[in-house]
Structure 1
C-alpha cells in the first residue's frame, strides 16, 4: 500500500471518530481525504477500460505503447477518434495520424485520462490482472 493510501485510511478513521464531536474537524478531514484521493488518481491513474476508451471519441488520452515488448515504451498525448463497429482506435498527435488495434489493447498499448507520474506501476495495472 502506498503512503498516500495509508494517509487516506487514517483520515477516514479520524473523520468517523470526530463525527459526533466536532463538525468543523469532520469537514476538514473530508476535504483532506478528497484532495488526497484526487492526487492518488492523478499520480497513479488506472488505464482506461476498453469500453471507456471507445466512448472517448474526440477527447485527449495519454498513450503508452510498447508494453511487454523488448523496445522501450513510447508515450504521448493524442486525440482519439473511434467509430462504431471499428476494430481500431484512430489518433491524431503532433499533426500525424495513426491507428492501433483494439485487440492489442492492454497487451501492446494502454490509454489513460491523465499522464501517469509513475509509468512502470501504471502499466502493470492492465485490465483483468
Structure 2
C-alpha cells in the first residue's frame, strides 16, 4: 500500500462513515442492527488502514515536526504513551527538542531511539470537520483537548495561530487562558495503530 493510496482510503472511509452516521437523522428513521453492523465494519477497516505502516519517526523527521502533535513512547519507564507538541529550539551551535504538554520526561534528541520514540499522526487522520469552534460549542466534559489558539498574555492577543493542548475545566474555563486564546478544539487523538496494546486495534 502506497502512502497516496492509504490517504485516499482513509478519506473515503471517513466520508462513508460520516454519511452512514448521519443517515438515520436525515432520513428520519431509527438506526437498524444491519446499519450499525455496517458502521462497525467500516470503523474496523478505517482503524486497520490508519495503523498500517506507522513506523517511528526518524530524528530528522522529528526535527521537521516543530509545532505539530506526536505520540511519545518511553522505552524505559513503562508508562503509557501520550500526545505532546514538538518544539524544536535552534541555537547557533546546536538544536534541541522540547516535548510541550508531556506529563513525563521523554528526553532529548541525544537519547531519541534509545530511551524514547515518537510517532506521527498522518494528517489524513485529523479530519478538518473534527475541529469545533468555541463559538459553536465547548467540550461537554473537563479534560485535555487538542486546540488551535492565538498566543496571548491576558488581553494582548497575537495574530498567529498554533496547535497545542489545553485543559478544559468546565463552563468556559481553559487552564492556559492567560497564554492561549483558544479558537477551536477537538478530542485528543487515538494513538497511532502500531502503538496500541495487542487486542486494542494495534498491529498484531
TM normalised by structure 2 equals 0.35
Aligned pair count reads: 87
The answer to which structure has the higher strand fraction is 2
Higher RCO, 1 vs 2 (CA within 8 Å, ≥6 residues apart): 1
Query: Mind listing any 5+ residue stretches in structure 1 that lack a counterpart?
Result: 1-7, 9-30, 122-129
Change (3 A) 1:106 1:32: closer
- Partner of residue 97, structure 2: 89
Is the partner of 1:74 in helix, strand or coil? coil
> 1:41 deviation in Å?
6.2
2:111 is aligned with 1:101:
no
Is the partner of 2:89 in helix, strand or coil? coil
2:193 is aligned with 1:117:
yes
The answer to which structure has the higher helix fraction is 1
TM normalised by structure 1 equals 0.52
CA-based RMSD of the aligned residues comes to 3.5
> 1:98 deviation in Å?
5.4
The 8 Å contact of residues 47 and 112 in structure 1, kept in 2 or not, is answered as: yes
Per-residue CA deviation, residues 33-84 of structure 1 (Å, 9 max, x unaligned), is 9528x8666214111110010111111111011x1x3x42430000110012
The 8 Å contact of residues 106 and 115 in structure 2, kept in 1 or not, is answered as: no
- Partner of residue 23, structure 1: none
Query: Mind listing any 5+ residue stretches in structure 2 that lack a counterpart?
Result: 11-45, 122-190, 199-204
> 1:101 deviation in Å?
1.6
